[in-house]
Chain A
Amino acid sequence: EPEVTQTPSHQVTQMGQEVILRCVPISNHLYFYWYRQILGQKVEFLVSFYNNEISEKSEIFDDQFSVERPDGSNFTLKIRSTKLEDSAMYFCASQTGVWNQPQHFGDGTRLSIL
């Protein structure tokens, strides 16, 4: 069964450094998402992406965050200048274009900011 893949599985970065998290969504899916889960807290929506542009973003997704689909297969989340509070699990998800079809998740990237 097709799956969403994320790399790396664990990223350790110094505060202030830039980090890029990578995702390969399911190939025929049209909608793409990033969520994060801080330890012990709810999964939180960050951003959704459709037709090569952001369709919705949360308050968390400030100017330090950006997303890109550079080559038609990868979907990346960049954090420009990481902060300690960015430490979390980051999940990528993809979805077909059909309304109410479920989102399929990758196994996440654990981001640790030192």
Chain B
Amino acid sequence: TQLLEQSPQFLSIQEGENLTVYCNSSSVFSSLQWYRQEPGEGPVLLVTVVTGGEVKKLKRLTFQFGDARKDSSLHITAAQPGDTGLYLCAGVSAGNNRKLIWGLGTSLAVNP
């Protein structure tokens, strides 16, 4: 059974601080996606990483896919209160299926 371990589960920081969220697995993924989910809504895609070692930037968010495609990180620089929310990683296993394997999520609170 493939698992994605996401950490930390909860994070409360002050505005302006930096943070990193991690997703780790012992399995290889063909791609990994990061989503953000607001209460009462579905997950909204932030980014997809496909190539081992790939780095993608989305304003103050930096996403990295591990060289072996088993892990990924999300780094937020100078966090803002508007970054508050639930961040989820989800991977597509390296096989013929397309289902997403999900992490538990990181609930981020950025305090003004």
Contact = CB atoms under 8 A, between A and B. Distances in A.
Interface of A: 4, 6, 31, 33, 35, 41-45, 48, 55-56, 58, 91, 95, 99-108
A35 B92 contact: no
A33 B102 CA distance: 14
B43 A100 contact: no
B30 interface: yes
Given A43-B102, A100-B31, A105 B97 contact: no
B78 interface: no
Contacts of A102: 33, 45, 48
Contacts of A106: 42
A100 B92 contact: yes
**Interface SS of chain B: helix, strand, loop or mixed?**
strand
Interface of B: 30-31, 33, 35, 40-45, 48, 50, 88, 90, 92, 97-105
A50 B5 CA distance: 29
B45 A56 contact: no
Contacts of B102: 35, 42-44
Given A91-B43, A100-B50, A48 B103 contact: no
B50 A107 contact: no
A107 B102 CA distance: 17
A43 B31 contact: no
Contact of B42 (A45, A95, A105): A105
B45 A43 contact: no
